[in-house]
A = this chain, B = another copy of it.
Amino acid sequence: MGVDGQRDAAAAARQPTMADIAAHLGISRQLVSLALRQQPGASEETRRRVAEAAGQLGYSPHIGARLLRQSRSRVIGVIFTPAHATEPEIVEGIYPAAENLGYHVVLSAHTPSRSTERAVEELLGHRCAAMVVIGSNLDHPALRSIAERSHVPVVNVGFGRRNPHYDVVISAGEAGIAQATAHLADLGHQGIVYVNLPAMPPARPRLNGYVRTMEKLGLATDVVTTTDGYTEEAGAEAGRLLLGRNTLPTAVMAGNDQAAVGVLHVLTRHGVRVPEDVSLTGYDDSRMARLSSVDLTTVRQDPLLMGTAAVEAAVRRVEHADAAPTRTVIEPTLVVRGSTAAPRAADG
């Protein structure tokens, strides 16, 4: 009782531990551990009492201590950029996927003031078993270097070719843009402009999808290239370039949703109606695209699926040390909304 009292009093100051629960119930720490982990070795009655005491004392397991003891880490580190558009949704997909496979998630933000290097360093400090890097601005050598130095499997999400150093999870940008292009051609469009955003990491496959599909359809390509960035601002720049032409095209495809919204703003502000005068498509199926006021035809990457694929690739590498890095391609789907319609010439 004297010892219990001391334990209880001390527990008020710090987070309760297994020892506190054990002292509280008058049993050993180890038994508490077994009971909490649902391992064989504790009686039903003991299990019940331990669970009750844990809830009552506000016990939560010390993740660091557990990790320290266990030989193998069950932590997946995730590097992401908070301010970006699609990445948060991928993060949302990572949590349930990791949980299903029995892994923890530790997030590390990459911001203008916090380099990817720092984010990596922190994740290694948490002894993550693998790292998922979402939408980084790193090139192949940089990613390769991280994978080699960190001694843990690395999964790059968003772009990249198959390679022996890190896994890649990617949406089939070429196929997605091809679908959107074919959709516009089916509606009767012939003058289809593509707004290329070279600063966007997965810009190249999307451009390829446009060029190849147009060639296959026997249509002339018409690409507007923005100078920098790949957000609304870049789209607005493209919109102004289009307005400076003698005649507008009947359809515009933007490299992503944000740029499409930038185009939309500029066009509508100048009295051009979408889709009556110009059809418009985006890419990503971001939240903005779904707004009734935007209602953008776009291509869905399924960020949840990408998050799941990233976790599965990571866990596969963790649990099979000799497995070679893979490249997973998530097939995108066209989402037709109100921003595309047949061109007026084809109407009459």
**Least Cβ–Cβ distance between A342 and chain B, in angstroms:** 19
**Least Cβ–Cβ distance between A138 and chain B, in angstroms:** 18
A37 within 8 A of B: no
Distance of A127 Cα from B66 Cα, bound (Å) = 12
A107 within 8 A of B: yes
Among A259-296, those with CB < 8 Å from B are: 262, 265-266, 268-269, 287-288, 291-294
Are B58 and A151 neighbours in the complex by a CB distance under 8 Å? yes
Distance of A15 Cα from B62 Cα, bound (Å) = 21
**Least Cβ–Cβ distance between A106 and chain B, in angstroms:** 7
SS class, residues of chain A in contact with chain B: helix
Assuming A82-B82, A92-B111, A109-B91, is B127 touching A64 (CB within 8 A)?
yes
**Least Cβ–Cβ distance between A310 and chain B, in angstroms:** 15
In the complex formed, the residue of B with least CB distance to A268 is B268
Residues in B with CB closer than 8 Å to A150 are 58
Assuming A95-B114, A111-B95, is B236 touching A125 (CB within 8 A)?
no
Are A64 and B58 neighbours in the complex by a CB distance under 8 Å? no
Residues in B with CB closer than 8 Å to A67 are 64
Residues of A within 8 A of B (CB-CB), count: 57
Other 17 A-B pairs with CB < 8 A, given A96-B114, A232-B288: A62-B127, A63-B122, A64-B65, A64-B127, A65-B68, A68-B68, A82-B91, A82-B92, A83-B89, A83-B92, A83-B287, A107-B108, A107-B109, A231-B287, A232-B291, A232-B293, A235-B293
Are B124 and A112 neighbours in the complex by a CB distance under 8 Å? no
A239 within 8 A of B: yes
Are A266 and B293 neighbours in the complex by a CB distance under 8 Å? yes
What mask results when residues 233 to 256 of chain A are scored 1 for a CB within 8 Å of chain B, else 0? 101100100000000000000000
A204 within 8 A of B: no
In the complex formed, the residue of B with least CB distance to A88 is B82
**Least Cβ–Cβ distance between A73 and chain B, in angstroms:** 9
A61 within 8 A of B: yes
